[in-house]
Amino acid sequence: MTGEAGAPDPLDKGAERIDALVIGAGPAGLMAAEVMGRSGRSVVVVEGKPSVGRKFLMAGKSGLNLTKDEASERFLSGYGDAAEWLAPMLADIGPETVKRWAEDLGQPVFTGSSGRVFPVTMKASPLLRAWLGRIGAEVRTHWRWVGWDGQHWLFDTREGQRRIAPRVVLLALGGASWARLGSDGVWAGLLSARGVALAPFRPANMGFVVDWSAHMEPLLGLPVKGVALRDAAGRWHRGEFVVSARGVEGGGIYAVSADLRDGAPLIVDLLPDLSMDEVARRLAARPAKRTLTQHMAKALRLDPVKRALVQEFGRPLPEGEDLARLLKGLEIRHAGPRPMDEAISTSGGVRRQAVDDGLMLRDLPGVFVAGEMLDWEAPTGGYLITGCLATGAWAGRHAAKWES
């Protein structure tokens, strides 16, 4: 095969020959492109949507939580069953590296009281603009990967179908949520047909459906603050969530959503700063003329939404120590997760055994995978973006060394 890289080769059925191809322009793909470019590869990034980083920009609407400033062992534990697999990648690009990365792009960061790290601007767009300028790769939008034509990679574009014959490919097409932003999971069928082992997609970091009774209607949309939620291992996670018309959602829910999805009950401690004994003591001191609801508001400072949750899921209300136990472990009964496309992220995708240590597909030599396409999940709080950056850099580094 002859011809300059990037030029159509008449012996190659009109395929454009390029050096390195990155498919998907989210954080994982862009980080891979930057690493490959620094290593001397000539990189073309293609994106099916009209612009790049759409999910990244959406995350910026809530402040862009880049990472979490905590001890490495604790940070790694946020990746659950995938922690061992991702450990070397997160050792290369972890919280401190992510902070320096943002600052090197002219975006100072700060750490909130919960350890979450944000750009001072609380926006994604300045960071993305600076990053794209530094990467310097050619970016083609409206290029949607639709499969192969023989040995060539086939794309639908505004100018019709195009074929590319790359020397190395890196896939960073995201998971299967927020399809309108580009992560539709359609790629799973293409890889499965080539023998790549995949785990089924499941929602992650999602809300849960609750069929509220009529008395909750005036409170829908209100936050439930200052609570703790229990995971399947019995650990408590401080946070807050929102009572919405659709159910419950928000950071506190997302922290335990994987366990809830897998069958654990949703247990909430409404008074995490008080011991069981102290709650019982205060309840026992109720004046004779005060109703139980009034007493919970007065003695325990339960706000209206917390009292409503107790009424919703605790009737008939017990008294004494039984009520104290209820307040310290209220089960919110739900009807399962919201639809997968509404989830912030997904689990499932390319299984660990389907890739080698450099994240190259065993069944497709020269094809690497990064980001949410891989079968890992983590809660919100900085873990997701850091995981995407880390896997992107790792796969990009190994792809840069590939010689076809």
For the chain, 404 residues long, give each residue's pLDDT as a single digit of tens: 233 334 444 445 589 999 999 999 999 999 999 999 999 999 999 999 999 999 999 998 888 999 999 999 999 999 999 999 999 999 999 999 999 999 999 999 999 988 999 999 999 999 999 999 999 999 999 999 999 999 999 999 999 999 999 999 999 999 999 999 999 999 999 999 999 999 999 999 999 999 999 999 999 999 999 999 999 999 999 999 999 999 999 999 999 999 999 999 999 999 999 999 999 999 999 998 999 999 999 999 999 999 999 999 998 999 899 999 999 999 999 999 999 999 999 999 999 999 999 999 999 999 999 999 999 999 999 999 999 999 999 999 999 999 97
- pLDDT given at position 13: 59
Contacts of 342 (CB under 8 A, 6+ apart): 177, 203, 206, 207
Contacts of 355 (CB under 8 A, 6+ apart): 361, 362, 368, 369, 374
Helix axes 304-314, 292-299, angle to 10 degrees: 140
Please name which of 179, 241, 176 lies closest in space to residue 210, comparing C-alpha atoms. Answer: 241
Coil, helix or strand at residue 53: coil
φ/ψ of 42, rounded to 5, equals -90, 115
List domains and CATH numbers for the chain: 10-203+342-400 (3.50.50.60), 208-331 (no CATH)
Q: Which amino acid is at 320?
A: G
CA separation for the pair 28, 390 (Å, rounded): 8
Residue tagged 């083609």 (tokens): 140
Query: Are 391 and 359 in contact, with CB atoms under 8 Å apart?
Result: yes
